Amino acid sequence: MRLRRNAIAVAVGALYLAVCLAALVAATPARAQPLNKLPPARAPCSVLSGHPCHPSFCGVFHSGPCFPQYLPPLGEELRLTIVSTDDDPTGRPAGEPDQDRNDRELDTIREMFAALRGCWAPPPREEARHGMEYTIRFAFKRDGELIAPPRRTYSSHDAPVELRLIYRDAIDAALKRCTPLHFSAGMAGAVAGRPIAIRFVDNRTIESNSGK
């Protein structure tokens, strides 16, 4: 008698489990319908998944599968734009480095950008052109020196070769005044080998008879 009761209990338990599992399977498509439009690799994971899936846990208080939204990673390249204007106080004649700035230890990206911006001296107005753009790309060593000469990645397409050389000479002179930059130990490790792109834009008012 006792064995028979145990068999009946096992059968009832198995039937109850089968009913619950069937109800769960029936409810799953309606619950996950919006997610089923995603490719298989982005479908929520399950113990019954027979295809590639994506982790779908967002939080202990979230009901239902979801895909965590992460911010995109920061780009490896550091970008700086230096605009020359009529009232720009940072420009200085070529050959006049800011010794105080060169001797100061740089501990942040902002300070490094300020040092690079302060070293820039645009070409003389009689050799310049309004709206000229020139972009370079380079990287620093840990000691603040350049790894290699900067590479030009863009210049105004309608600028003649002579005008491009004038701005390139001004850029080379600015970097020569700035380097070596004095990085702190932490800053040196963070910036060494990291690509830096600087875009120079000349927005000064220039007489048409002196522009190129």
What residue spans define the domains of the chain?
2-31, 38-70, 78-202
Strand-pair partners of 199: 81, 135
Question: What's this model's pTM, rounded to 2 decimal places?
Answer: 0.60
Asked whether the CA dihedral 142, 198, 101, 106 is positive or negative, the reply is negative
Query: What CATH class has 78-202?
Result: alpha beta
Residue 200's Cβ-count burial label (10 Å; 0-12, 13-18, 19+) is buried
Long-range contacts formed by 157-164: CB under 8 A, 24+ apart: 159/129, 159/132, 159/212, 160/212, 162/212, 163/127, 163/129, 163/132, 163/212, 164/134
pLDDT in tens, the chain (212 residues): 666 666 666 666 666 666 665 555 454 443 434 434 444 444 455 556 555 555 555 555 555 555 444 443 445 679 999 999 988 654 454 445 455 555 679 999 999 999 999 999 999 999 999 999 999 999 999 999 999 999 999 999 889 999 999 999 999 999 999 999 999 999 999 899 999 999 999 999 887 644 45
